[in-house]
Copies of this chain bind each other. A is one copy, B any other.
Amino acid sequence: MNGKLYGVGLGPGDPDLITLKAHRILQSVPVIAWPAPDTGPSFARAIAAPHLPGGQLEIPIVMPMRTERFPARDVYDKASMEISAHLDAGRDVAVLCEGDPFFYGSFMYVFERLASRYPTEVVPGVSSMMAAASAAGRPLAARNDVLSVIPGPMDDEAMAARLELCDAVAIIKVGRHFGRIRALIDRLDLMDQAVYAERVSLEAERLMPLADVADVTAPYFSMILIYKGGEEWIHALPGSKA
């Protein structure tokens, strides 16, 4: 009998924010696979670490920093072949995912290669977007608000059009686009309603009004939350001048 494939959402970073279900799977599967950059540690592996019993087989899915194609097909082809060998041998495999597996996650590339051939279960997780709003102490969205999630690489004109048509925004994948996006938010007169969040729920968490951020770039795992008409909520923020 084939093994089962799990895509396991591990939440935003604090190991305490994984679900009971994810915890049980991590405790029981004989094989785990996890995404990693070609240099440095795997964030997903780090979130899972305190929950692993030890002794499991591990499959790193190493993504080269610079790839011409996105996603890097060869990497997922190879990882999926390794994973399928274990599934064929009857071993369950958990693919570790930061946040939620299907919210801008890379698990879809494994899923699309294997889910039609093996029993598969996706375990949702707490997304860093929700965790950022919780940490900031203000709603992500409420009542009949329209919330839009906008990736940072989008150009100014397109982003401005989308910012116009919603009440609340999470700009994700900010990274090297930080300076440009901040200038756009300033120009659109939304600065007073914008919060910057970085490495939410981790020791190194940074959370402050966007207006107070002195940096010119930001790490990949950073985001900007805007809650239009939410000026009153920003006062509660740590580091706020209000």
Q: Of A19-27, A30-38, A57-65, which binds chain B?
A: A19-27
Report copies per complex: 2
Residues of B within 8 A of A143 (CB): 70, 104, 151
- With an 8 A cutoff between CB atoms, is A122 at the interface? yes
- With an 8 A cutoff between CB atoms, is A3 at the interface? no
Residues of B within 8 A of A166 (CB): 148, 162
Interface centre among A111, A116, A147 (most CB of B within 10 A): A147
In the assembled complex, how far is the CB of residue A81 from the closest CB belonging to chain B, in whole angstroms? 21
Residues of B within 8 A of A49 (CB): none
Q: Chain A: residues with CB nearer than 8 A to chain B?
A: 7, 9, 11-12, 14-21, 23-24, 70, 100-105, 108, 111, 115-116, 120, 122-127, 130-131, 133-135, 137-151, 153-154, 161-162, 165-166, 173, 236
